[in-house]
C-alpha cells in the first residue's frame, strides 16, 4: 500500500525566507528520492481566481480594498486546488506549501475582520501535518531587498499580520522557525521538524480537515 505524502506548510510574513526554504526542502526530498512538489498560495496560475488575485496584489491602493471579496477569492483559490493536492498526497508525493489558510486568516484579521467570518471558508480544507511559522521581527523583513512591491507589503500592516500570526499559532502542529538565522541554519531547523513529522505520517495517518 502506498504511504501518503506529508503536507508541510510554510507560513510567515512577506520576505521572511519561505520561498527560498521551500525550494531547499524540495531539493532535499529529491536528493533522497522522495516525490515532492511545491504548491504556492495564492496559486496565480489557477484559472478561475489566480489572475484576479494577481491583479489585486499588483494594483490595489489600500490594504482594505474589497476585503470580503478578496478574502473569499484567496479561499476559493485554495479550494480550486484541493482535489489535485489530495491526489498528489494519496499517491505518496510530499506537498510543500508556500502559505496556506493561515495567511488568509492572519492577513484578513490584520484588516480588522471578524475571526469566525474569516475562518469559516477554510473549514473542510486539508489539515497540514506540520506548519512552520517563519518567525522574524517585522522591522527586519521590511528592510529586506524586494519588500514593498505589492499591495499588502506596508510596514504597519506587516506588524499587524505578525501579531495575528502569533495569535492563531497552534502548538499541537505548528513550529516556530528563527527566520533571522542564516539560510543554512534555517534549513537545518526546518529539516529537524520535517523529519520528526515524517515518522508520524508513515503510520498511515488519515487526512484531517481544518475545523
* Residues in touch with ligand NYM (CB under 6 A): 14, 41-42, 57, 74, 99, 103-104, 107, 150, 152-153
**Residue 116's CB: how many other CB atoms inside 10 A?**
7
| In the complex, minimum distance from the CB of residue 153 to ligand NYM, in angstroms, rounded to a whole number | 6
| In the complex, minimum distance from the CB of residue 83 to ligand NYM, in angstroms, rounded to a whole number | 18
Under 8 Å between Cβ of 21 and 99 = no
| In the complex, minimum distance from the CB of residue 164 to ligand NYM, in angstroms, rounded to a whole number | 11
Closest CA to 89 of 145, 10, 7: 7
Grid cell listed for 31: 536528493
CB-based contacts of 117, cutoff 8 Å, min separation 6: none
Under 8 Å between Cβ of 68 and 74 = no
Nearer to ligand NYM, 26 or 57 (CB): 57
CA 163 to chain centre: 16
Nearer to ligand NYM, 202 or 209 (CB): 209
| In the complex, minimum distance from the CB of residue 42 to ligand NYM, in angstroms, rounded to a whole number | 5
| In the complex, minimum distance from the CB of residue 120 to ligand NYM, in angstroms, rounded to a whole number | 14
Nearer to ligand NYM, 4 or 157 (CB): 157
Nearer to ligand NYM, 36 or 158 (CB): 158
Give the integer Cα–Cα distance in Å for 132 and 148. Answer: 23
Nearer to ligand NYM, 22 or 36 (CB): 22
Amino acid at each position: 500500500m502506498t504511504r501518503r505524502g506529508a503536507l508541510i506548510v510554510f507560513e510567515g510574513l512577506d520576505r521572511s525566507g519561505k520561498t527560498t526554504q521551500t525550494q531547499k526542502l524540495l531539493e532535499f526530498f529529491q536528493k533522497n528520492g522522495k516525490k515532492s512538489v511545491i504548491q504556492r498560495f495564492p496559486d496565480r496560475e489557477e484559472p478561475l481566481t489566480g489572475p484576479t488575485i494577481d491583479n489585486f496584489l499588483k494594483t490595489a491602493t489600500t490594504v482594505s480594498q474589497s476585503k470580503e471579496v478578496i478574502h473569499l477569492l484567496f479561499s476559493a483559490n485554495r479550494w480550486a486546488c484541493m482535489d489535485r493536492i489530495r491526489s498528489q498526497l494519496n499517491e505518496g508525493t510530499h506537498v510543500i506549501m508556500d502559505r496556506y489558510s493561515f495567511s488568509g486568516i492572519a492577513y484578513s484579521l490584520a484588516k480588522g475582520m471578524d475571526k469566525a467570518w474569516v475562518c469559516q471558508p477554510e473549514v473542510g480544507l486539508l489539515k497540514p501535518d506540520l506548519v512552520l511559522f517563519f518567525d522574524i521581527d517585522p522591522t527586519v523583513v521590511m528592510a529586506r531587498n524586494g519588500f514593498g512591491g505589492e499591495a499588502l507589503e506596508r510596514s504597519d500592516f506587516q506588524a499587524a499580520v505578525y501579531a495575528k500570526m502569533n495569535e492563531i499559532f497552534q502548538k499541537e502542529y505548528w513550529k516556530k522557525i528563527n527566520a533571522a538565522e542564516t539560510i543554512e541554519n534555517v534549513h537545518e531547523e526546518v529539516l529537524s521538524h520535517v523529519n520528526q513529522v515524517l515518522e508520524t505520517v508513515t503510520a498511515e495517518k488519515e487526512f484531517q480537515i481544518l475545523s
